[in-house]
A and B are shown apart, each in its own frame.
Chain A
Amino acid sequence: MPAVETKYFGIVSYAEESAVLFPQGLPAFEEERGFVLIDAPEGAPLVFLQSLARAGLCFLAIPILSIDSSYQLAIAPEDLENLGLNAGSQPGMGTDVSVLALVSVRDGFLASANLMAPLVLNVRTRRGLQAIRRDSRYSHEHPLAPLARAQATKGTRPPETAC
């Protein structure tokens, strides 16, 4: 089992299927391609997106449906093509793709999530990209307070597939 030095959890062994590849990197982190998704029980529903190349780089992310259970994807056709998906229709969340929102920390606490530019992972290929929306339907600084309500209804949705 491969292992990675992490920002938060020391050296962690991980299953190959927890590794994800962003062939184009992420905006402002174009050179960072390989990551591993780490679930931390104390952090649920938070997911840790640890860089495989840089121990000090670990994003915090939340399955987007945990933040907004009615979130609607609007992935641009070229992004769908890059994901190896049919460009003519939106993929199914939880079936075709996992969708995560990156969390920003301000003043020491988890302040907001970026719903404008979700991370979309093709669950079959484990490849992903950050799909920047062209519309202005969702905020890039969605306040995280509503998460408390989302957690209260946790039993009604499948957290495994939501991510």
Chain B
Amino acid sequence: MLVLRRRAGESFLIGDEIEVEVLAVSQQGAKIGIRAPKETVVLRKELKVTQDENTQAASGPSARDLEQALRKLRP
């Protein structure tokens, strides 16, 4: 992973079109501003992780396989 040290008011570029600026840094965390093309999806990573995990959770066992799946949970 590339590691950069930036202060509030400083920014960096990703490619030609994405700029990430550190707006403020406090005890609560860093406030980040992002300039990117409209079509670029910017998502908190934990939200993306949750979406993926929910999608996985929704494809649970079929009704036929439920009992088998539950059995494997038993001690």
Query: Which residue of chain A has its CB nearest to the CB of B44?
Result: A132
**Interface extent on B, as a size class?**
20 to 34
Contact A105 B69 (CB under 8 A): yes
User: Which of chain B's residues have a CB closer than 8 A to the CB of A120?
Assistant: none
Q: Given the known A-B contacts A108-B65, A151-B75, are A60 and B49 also in contact in the complex, defined by CB atoms under 8 Å? A: no
Q: Among B52, B59, B70, B75, which residue has its beta carbon within 8 angstroms of that of A110?
A: B70
Residues A127-163 near B (CB distance < 8 A):
130, 132-134, 140-141, 144, 147-148, 151-152
Q: Among B53, B70, B75, which residue has its beta carbon within 8 angstroms of that of A104?
A: B53
**Interface extent on A, as a size class?**
35 or more
Contact A27 B72 (CB under 8 A): no
With an 8 A cutoff between CB atoms, is A114 at the interface? Answer: yes
Contact B58 A59 (CB under 8 A): yes
- Bound state CA distance, A7 and B57, in angstroms? 14
Q: Given the known A-B contacts A8-B63, A8-B66, are A140 and B58 also in contact in the complex, defined by CB atoms under 8 Å? A: no
User: Which of chain A's residues have a CB closer than 8 A to the CB of B59?
Assistant: 105
User: Which of chain B's residues have a CB closer than 8 A to the CB of A130?
Assistant: 50, 54
User: Which of chain B's residues have a CB closer than 8 A to the CB of A133?
Assistant: 46
Residues B21-68 near A (CB distance < 8 A):
44, 46-47, 49-61, 63, 65-68
Q: Is the interface of B mostly helix, strand, loop or mixed?
A: helix
- Bound state CA distance, A43 and B2, in angstroms? 47
Query: Which residue of chain B has its CB nearest to the CB of A10?
Result: B63
Contact B58 A57 (CB under 8 A): yes
Binding site for A on B (CB under 8 A): 44, 46-47, 49-61, 63, 65-70, 72-75
Other CB < 8 Å A-B pairs besides A109-B68, A109-B73, 15 of them? A8-B63, A8-B66, A27-B50, A28-B51, A28-B55, A58-B60, A60-B57, A105-B59, A110-B70, A116-B50, A132-B46, A133-B46, A141-B53, A144-B73, A151-B75
Binding site for B on A (CB under 8 A): 7-8, 26-29, 42-43, 46, 57-60, 102-106, 108-110, 114, 116-117, 130, 132-134, 140-141, 144, 147-148, 151-152
